[in-house]
Structures are given as C-alpha cells and as structure tokens.
A = this chain, B = another copy of it.
C-alpha cells in the first residue's frame, strides 16, 4: 500500500510522494490526475486580463448587428436605416453599465458577481434569481457563440450548411474536453486570438470607413437569399424596441471582469477597473463601426451568410486570404467566448452548491482540479439547445440577454442598496455583512445614483426585452427561471432539514441494539449457503432460513438436505404459485420487519455467489443482487452479503 502512517490521536495514512493513481481511459482523454496541492494561483496584468475576459463581450459584435437587421427586415430594407441609431443607443447603455460595474469592481475586490452582490445586499431570493439568470445565460453563451461561429464557417464554406448542427455539437464537445483537461486562464493562448481579432476587425472597419468616405466601398455582390425581407409592416415603435432588444446582446459578457477580479495583479480593483473601461471602449467602437458599414454596403441578414462575412468580402473586394483570415479570427473568438462560459458556469454552480442550492456533487473537483461535473452539465444542456434550435443564432437570440439584464439589474440594485446603507453609517463605524465589511464613505450619494440609474436602465431593458421578444422565445426563459429558483430552494430545504435531523446537537446516544433477528434466504443447500449460515450464527441465535418454493420437488430436496445440514435452524418454505421469486421474500421480510420489537434489528444475510468473471453472472439468476437492491432503501432492515467463493 502506498501510504505512510502518522499518529495524531487518530491514525493518518498519507500517500507516499511517488504515488500515482492508476491510469484509465480518462488519463488518455484529459491528462493525468493532478494533486489538490497542485492548484495553481497566478495573477495576471491588464493586457492579459483584457484578453482573458473580453472574448465573450467582444465576440458579440459578430452577431449583434445582424440580429438588429433580422428584426428590421420585417419592415423591408428601408427600415435598415435604423440600425445605426439603434446601435448608438446600445452603446450609451453600454457606457452606463460600464460605469455602474466600475463601482462594483472597487467595492468587491474579492469578486463581485451578480449572485454574490445580490446575496450580500438584497437577500436570498434575489440572489437565487440572479444565480438562475446567470446559469441560463452561460448556457446560452455557449449555444449562441458556437452557433454563430459555425455560421461564420458556413458563410465561407456553404457546402457545410447541412452539417451545421453536427459541427456545432463537435465544437462544444471539443471545448468541453479542453476544459475538463483544465485551461490555464492566464497566458499567451488567450492573448493571441483576442488581440488578433481586435486588430483584424479594426483593420476591416478602418479600411471600410476609408472606402466609404472615398466613395469606393460599393454594396454587397450576390447577397444571400432575401426571403427574410417582408415589408409587410411599417416601422413602428415596437419594431424599433424589438430590434433594440436584439442588439443588446452586444452587452453580454460585460459582467465577466467583475466575476474574475481575484485573477488580477494588485492593485486588483484598479487593474480590473481599467481593463473594464478598455474593453467597453473597444466593444463600443467596433460595434458602431460594424453597424455603420453594414448599413452602407446594404448587407442582408441571412441564415446562409453572416453579415460579418458580407461586410468583410465587400471591404476586401474578394473572398481570398484576407477574407478567410478575418472569418477565422471571428470564429476563434466566438469559440473562446463559449470557453469563457465553461469557466463561469461551473464556478457559479459550485458556489451555489456550496451554499446548498444545487447538488453538493457540483463542488467536487475532478481529477484535473476543475469542476468537471459542472463542465459536463453545461456541455449537455448547450448541446440540447443547439440541437433543438437547429444551431440558428436568430432562433436562440430571444432566449439570450434577458438573463444577463436581470442579473445586471439585481447586481446594480444591490450596489445601490449598499451605498444607501453605507451612507447611513456614522463615519468611522464598521458593520460586517455576510461577505464584506461596510464603512462610511464620502460621495455615497453619487455612487448610489450611478448604480441606481444603471439598475433602472437595465430593468427597463429587461422589460422591453421580455415584452418585445415574448412570443419569439423569451417566454421560455420567463418560465424556466422561476422553475430553477424553485429547484434551488427545494434543494436548499432538503439539505437544511437533513443536516438538522442528522445533527448531534442535543443528541443523547443512539439506541442500543438489544437483539438481532436474522433471515437467511437460500436457493439451495450447498457450501455457499452453509457459509452464510455460519456467518449468521455469529450474529444471533434467532435465525430463519427462507426458501421460495417454485418447484415443489426441489423444495422437498432442500427440506431433506436442511434437516441434515441446517444445524437445527428453522426453515421456512414460502409457497409461490405464480413462480415469483423476489416478491414473496420481500413480503415476508416486510411482515417480520413491521412486527419488530424496539431495539431489535433485522438482518438479512444473503449468500452471494462470486463469479470468476462478469460473464458468468449471465448464467445465474443473481437473486441476491436483485434482492439487495430492492431492500437497499428499506428502513430498519440491515442487508449483509456473505460472498461464497468458487475457485
């Protein structure tokens, strides 16, 4: 045994340093297991921080403009003119949210996700709503980003159109495996594709603007099918709001930095805050640029070719190497956005599980020190969504963003409430609340106003979103969120009750076992059943051997053999006219168990045949196994398997 012994009151057996767990197929798939002590903790600077946390937010530029156009298309191409004003409104919203989150980052240097902020400042229910919204949204981040990534691939290689669901599912599985293996969040792996995307996208926008100004941009040649354009309805306020809602998906991912503050180098909050501002500036400018150019070239929203693809090939006037480079960079950043959700979802689930709102198993770190169960769970749900919605970004979008905006609202409302509390402290006074310490601060009124305004803005957007996109699919989220919250509280109640009932507070001592009663089911009289009888004898003198009579001739033989070998133990033959095996046994055991005395314990001693290999199991009825599964959850009955060995 590769253990070293240590004595400290209890015996502690430590693994010897050279110990390695046995290799399995898992090792091959995701790498050799890591020790708990191996858990890395590195911090990152602003430049890498931007790369790590920005992919989710920046990647939304790949689909936000297109989704605005998709809605406007209902009023014909003439409505496309509204895309730029709508984009400006969205960028203003972005600025408000950024300012608001800036304050959260400084107030929560230990990480201020919406769940934590809501839990610490408003209460359990809002925290659970925030948690449910965020989990839903992480799932959608994966589904939408991967679907959009596949749409880029399909734009470049239209022959792959029919395989888009398979490609998307394979991508999710690939990202799942990478995450099960564990990705170091720091490092160059993240920086290269993010900065590459930013550079090529700025380049595209810059060249596009230059051409637009010089009048050489032109419009899209061979636009994709125009079947989405209807011009059946006029441009209404509802339509504009509807299009605006679709565009707000550009803001998804902005909260990422506030979740991950601890990853930054000191001064953490300052670094994280500056990174957030830079991210918003890049996001806002790219989004505006893309929306403007899209309008100029007359791009058509389509399931067959993305607006980005139309833009890029118009700007570069070809579908050559430059085009493929930009499309590849876009696809990669979309995959990385999905990857971010693979870090966030398991982390939040583990947090919720540790608080008792989700199954405890989600806190367990797998062989690679990642929350493997959360990772697998996320992949499964995202795959189901992709399959269900046929990897269509347009069909997934109505479900997306509503969660983000409700968590924005709750988090900022929590912050506003926090400032209010801080403002009502006397200077110098300190109060400790759950996760953080509150101390009087100058200028709390302005800060409260900023967070309060942000909260109101995002609340309004949440409502606009829910109303305009209700029929498109937002209702699904409005149904699912309460269900998830209800599940959270049911789970929580279960754990709390269980802990109470198992608690040793005010517990005297367990009832002494006064008397054993043993039941010994036998299928025949042979060496195996006699070993079990021997074992039963060590427990008690009150033993009943039990045989279910299916074949009366067989029963007669058993009766005769038992007389000789049964050591005087009582044999009960249970008639079974319908040739049932387990049922009469269970019925008899139930009967005995229901009449048991206090302090009496009923133990079923089951002779268990040990086959040489699993194949041999097929040659035996395995009554013992079925019986034990049936009795496993029977209260007050102890089940003992006595293996009998056949060499």
> A574-618 CB contact bits vs B (8 Å, 1 = yes)?
111111100100011001000000000101000010110000101
> A608-647 CB contact bits vs B (8 Å, 1 = yes)?
1011000010111100010010001111111111111111
- B513 touching A528, Cβ below 8 Å: no
- Interface size, chain A (Cβ < 8 Å): 103
> A1-31 CB contact bits vs B (8 Å, 1 = yes)?
1010000011111110001011000000000
Which B residues touch A583, using CB under 8 A? 21-22
- A571 touching B11, Cβ below 8 Å: yes
- A504 touching B565, Cβ below 8 Å: yes
- B13 touching A575, Cβ below 8 Å: yes
Known: A1-B588, A513-B535. Contact between A632 and B619, CB under 8 A?
no
- B643 touching A635, Cβ below 8 Å: yes
For the complex, is A214 an interface residue (Cβ under 8 Å from B)? Answer: no
- B367 touching A12, Cβ below 8 Å: no
Which B residues touch A475, using CB under 8 A? none
Cβ-neighbour of A639 out of B3, B573, B640 (below 8 A): B640
For the complex, is A351 an interface residue (Cβ under 8 Å from B)? Answer: no
Of A92-100, A251-259, A319-327, A491-499, the one touching chain B: A491-499
- B36 touching A573, Cβ below 8 Å: no
CB A491 to nearest CB in B, in angstroms, measures 6
Which B residues touch A634, using CB under 8 A? 610, 643
For the complex, is A360 an interface residue (Cβ under 8 Å from B)? Answer: yes
For the complex, is A184 an interface residue (Cβ under 8 Å from B)? Answer: no
For the complex, is A191 an interface residue (Cβ under 8 Å from B)? Answer: no
For the complex, is A395 an interface residue (Cβ under 8 Å from B)? Answer: no
For the complex, is A538 an interface residue (Cβ under 8 Å from B)? Answer: yes
Known: A528-B502, A538-B513, A635-B643. Contact between A34 and B578, CB under 8 A?
yes
- A527 touching B513, Cβ below 8 Å: no
- A638 touching B642, Cβ below 8 Å: yes
- A367 touching B578, Cβ below 8 Å: yes
- A619 touching B495, Cβ below 8 Å: yes
CB A389 to nearest CB in B, in angstroms, measures 27
Cβ-neighbour of A635 out of B15, B22, B610 (below 8 A): B610
Which B residues touch A572, using CB under 8 A? 10-13
- A364 touching B575, Cβ below 8 Å: no
- A527 touching B498, Cβ below 8 Å: no
Known: A1-B591, A587-B1. Contact between A580 and B610, CB under 8 A?
no
Which B residues touch A639, using CB under 8 A? 640-641
- B619 touching A491, Cβ below 8 Å: yes
A533 to B512, CA, bound (A): 10
For the complex, is A317 an interface residue (Cβ under 8 Å from B)? Answer: no
- A577 touching B512, Cβ below 8 Å: no
Which B residues touch A13, using CB under 8 A? 572-575, 588
- A502 touching B526, Cβ below 8 Å: yes
Known: A510-B531, A527-B510, A534-B510. Contact between A646 and B361, CB under 8 A?
no
Of A142-150, A402-410, A418-426, A556-564, the one touching chain B: A556-564
Identify which of residues 361-383 in chain A touch chain B, using a CB-to-CB cut-off of 8 Å. Answer: 361, 364-367
Which B residues touch A229, using CB under 8 A? none
Which B residues touch A628, using CB under 8 A? 641
Cβ-neighbour of A3 out of B15, B574, B616, B642 (below 8 A): B574
For the complex, is A359 an interface residue (Cβ under 8 Å from B)? Answer: yes
Chain B residue at minimal CB-CB distance from A498:
B646
Which B residues touch A644, using CB under 8 A? 502
- A640 touching B643, Cβ below 8 Å: no
Most B CB within 10 A of own CB, among A578, A619, A642 = A578
For the complex, is A33 an interface residue (Cβ under 8 Å from B)? Answer: yes
- B625 touching A611, Cβ below 8 Å: no
For the complex, is A270 an interface residue (Cβ under 8 Å from B)? Answer: no
A4 to B561, CA, bound (A): 24
- A559 touching B645, Cβ below 8 Å: no
Chain B residue at minimal CB-CB distance from A638:
B642
Which B residues touch A442, using CB under 8 A? none
Identify which of residues 501-533 in chain A touch chain B, using a CB-to-CB cut-off of 8 Å. Answer: 501-504, 507, 509-513, 516, 524-528, 530-531, 533
Which B residues touch A159, using CB under 8 A? none
A77 to B559, CA, bound (A): 73
A1 to B645, CA, bound (A): 35
Known: A3-B574, A578-B33, A638-B535. Contact between A647 and B504, CB under 8 A?
no
For the complex, is A570 an interface residue (Cβ under 8 Å from B)? Answer: yes
Which B residues touch A367, using CB under 8 A? 578-580
For the complex, is A539 an interface residue (Cβ under 8 Å from B)? Answer: yes
For the complex, is A437 an interface residue (Cβ under 8 Å from B)? Answer: no
A359 to B644, CA, bound (A): 20
- B647 touching A501, Cβ below 8 Å: yes
Which B residues touch A587, using CB under 8 A? 1
For the complex, is A35 an interface residue (Cβ under 8 Å from B)? Answer: yes
Which B residues touch A591, using CB under 8 A? 1
Identify which of residues 276-318 in chain A touch chain B, using a CB-to-CB cut-off of 8 Å. Answer: none
Which B residues touch A510, using CB under 8 A? 527, 530-531, 533-534
- B573 touching A10, Cβ below 8 Å: yes
Chain B residue at minimal CB-CB distance from A640:
B640
Cβ-neighbour of A611 out of B562, B610, B633 (below 8 A): B633
- A632 touching B647, Cβ below 8 Å: no
For the complex, is A213 an interface residue (Cβ under 8 Å from B)? Answer: no
A148 to B567, CA, bound (A): 62
> 8 closest A-B pairs (Cβ-Cβ)?
A502-B526, A10-B571, A35-B577, A640-B640, A14-B575, A33-B578, A12-B573, A635-B645
A-B CB contact pairs (8 Å), 21 listed: A3-B575, A9-B559, A10-B570, A10-B573, A12-B549, A12-B573, A13-B588, A22-B583, A360-B620, A367-B580, A497-B646, A502-B524, A504-B526, A510-B530, A511-B534, A516-B538, A538-B601, A539-B539, A603-B640, A639-B640, A640-B640
Other than A12-B549, A34-B578, A535-B601, give 10 A-B pairs with Cβ distance below 8 A: A15-B575, A35-B578, A361-B621, A491-B619, A501-B527, A502-B646, A510-B530, A539-B539, A638-B641, A639-B640
